[in-house]
């Protein structure tokens, strides 16, 4: 057995070690062949000095950019004072964050459980809904992504279902409202979402054993292709839940905390969920998540012996980071900034669409935008190859992009730069995307 070493290996040794020792994930499992050495603001920097503009905020999380100085200061201070506790102990950062989150939310959302990831928060929310209702059946969108732990994975339909054996009984999918590729239409060809929703729940009712507990959805489906339900949809969905005694869980992992131009995406629809889950944006890149519900639901869950905690439940280190995130969001008015920058981004994407017929659709809200590529605008014919080639060309030009490729779609770029990005940085990214599409199309 060789002795361990801390010396930096050569680039070739690095990739040899990566290929030999890392478990691969995410589809084909090919890691981007760049060694990232550091990150600051809207940019990543490779070991060989290349600068890459990050149009995905890391894993759609770093809403304040990378290495935000106030986050750095908070981590340095907090890790030297109090980092981790036994699950039955509390600290001031945890209670402060729970109170401050409640202050950003409408009544009756006021009780918070602090965890680490979106999957954990959705797992905890589903578990709570099952216990409180005394039922077990869960409904979610057919293009959903809620995480890879058991209950969250059972409610995820966009990918990852094949090869792992049967999902837990009582999980049902309803059609995702896709206005660009409508499956049920009005006379003018637009999406008839009311009829689609009625049909979806008619199918659920036909399959249900009479034990419907909750419906969990994203207000804007991100991994599902940046699909934004039409105005009125969430209110109608809530009525469907009420008619059946179900709880409504909204997963705002990517849309919460100002990204869409409001503090929470559900604000547009005037719908308050029974349970709200937050993650990604709450820690601004660090592992922090939350389940937030009403005092009534929390009390019922507690009286029934609600059990959900992890090794890192209510950790003071990341809770302190969450408080700093709220400080910056409030002080710098990043909800307004996201709306303004989102309008700037949208205008730029529309300009790209005018120049390139392979751009089929632009959608999203605020600084969460989607751009769908097709080979033919009339037929909306998809091409996964086109999306992959544009993604690769963007990286060559110094722009990191993420493309969602699902069956029947040509590929949708999820564009989610930090809320702290500048107009110049957005313009730089738009120019690179414009060039990448043009270069790929010209190459044939």
Closest Cα partner for 352 from 375, 373, 379? 373
CA atoms of 191 and 178, how far apart (whole Å):
7
Can you read off the two tokens belonging to residue 196? 């689609």
Point out the catalytic residue in the list 111, 135, 240, 280.
280
Sheet with 368-373: strands ordered across: 359-365, 368-373, 412-415, 402-404
Point out the catalytic residue in the list 130, 145, 298, 335.
145
CA atoms of 162 and 69, how far apart (whole Å):
43
* 267 counts as catalytic: no
* 365 counts as catalytic: no
Point out the catalytic residue in the list 130, 244, 363, 414.
414
Task: Confirm if 251 and 118 have CB atoms less than 8 A apart.
Answer: yes
Point out the catalytic residue in the list 120, 137, 218, 228.
218
- Nearest 5°: the CA angle 195, 245, 228 is 40
Q: Where are the beta strands (DSSP E) in 128-274?
A: 137-141, 171-174, 212-217, 247-251
Can you read off the two tokens belonging to residue 112? 């918070």
* 145 counts as catalytic: yes
Closest Cα partner for 68 from 324, 399, 428, 423? 324
Per the listing, tokens 């069956």 go with: 407
* 280 counts as catalytic: yes
Point out the catalytic residue in the list 254, 259, 274, 361.
254
> How many residues are present in the chain?
444
The catalytic residues are 145, 218, 251, 254, 280, 414
């Amino acid at each position: 057995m060789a002795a361990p070493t801390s010396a930096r290996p050569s680039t070739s040794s690095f990739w040899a070690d990566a290929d030999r020792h890392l478990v691969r994930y995410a589809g084909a499992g090919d890691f981007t062949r760049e060694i990232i050495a550091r990150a600051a603001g809207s940019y990543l920097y490779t070991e060989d000095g290349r600068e890459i503009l990050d149009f995905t905020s890391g894993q759609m999380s770093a809403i304040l950019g990378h290495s935000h100085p106030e986050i750095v200061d908070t981590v340095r201070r907090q890790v030297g004072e109090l980092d981790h506790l036994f699950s039955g102990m509390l600290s001031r950062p945890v209670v402060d964050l729970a109170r401050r989150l409640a202050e950003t939310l409408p009544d009756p959302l006021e009780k918070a459980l602090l965890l680490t990831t979106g999957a954990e928060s959705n797992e905890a929310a589903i578990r709570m809904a099952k216990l409180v209702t005394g039922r077990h059946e869960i409904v979610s969108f057919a293009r959903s992504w809620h995480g890879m732990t058991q209950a969250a994975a059972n409610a995820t339909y966009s990918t990852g279902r094949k090869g792992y054996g049967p999902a837990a009984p009582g999980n049902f999918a309803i059609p995702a409202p896709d206005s660009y590729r409508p499956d049920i239409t009005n006379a003018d060809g637009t999406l008839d979402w009311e009829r689609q929703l009625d049909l979806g729940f008619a199918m659920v009712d036909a399959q249900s054993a009479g034990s419907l507990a909750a419906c969990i959805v994203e207000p804007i489906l991100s991994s599902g292709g940046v699909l934004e339900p039409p105005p009125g949809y969430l209110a109608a969905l809530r009525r469907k839940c009420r008619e059946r005694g179900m709880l409504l869980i909204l997963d705002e992992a990517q849309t919460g905390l100002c990204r869409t131009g409001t503090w929470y995406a559900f604000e547009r629809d005037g719908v308050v969920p029974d349970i709200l889950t937050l993650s990604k944006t709450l820690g601004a890149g660090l592992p922090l998540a939350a389940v937030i519900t009403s005092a009534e639901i929390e009390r019922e869950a507690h009286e029934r012996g609600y059990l959900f905690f992890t090794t890192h439940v209510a950790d003071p280190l990341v809770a302190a980071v969450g408080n700093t995130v709220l400080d910056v969001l409030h002080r710098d008015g990043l909800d307004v900034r996201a709306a303004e920058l989102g309008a700037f981004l949208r205008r730029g994407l529309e300009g790209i669409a005018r120049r390139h017929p392979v751009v089929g659709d632009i959608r999203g809200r605020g600084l969460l935008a989607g751009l769908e590529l097709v080979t033919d605008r009339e037929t909306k014919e998809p091409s996964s190859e086109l999306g992959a080639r544009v993604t690769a060309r963007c990286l060559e030009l110094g722009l990191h992009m993420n493309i969602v490729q699902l069956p029947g779609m040509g590929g949708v770029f999820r564009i989610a730069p930090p809320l702290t990005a500048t107009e110049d940085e957005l313009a730089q990214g738009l120019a690179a995307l414009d060039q990448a599409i043009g270069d790929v199309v010209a190459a044939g």
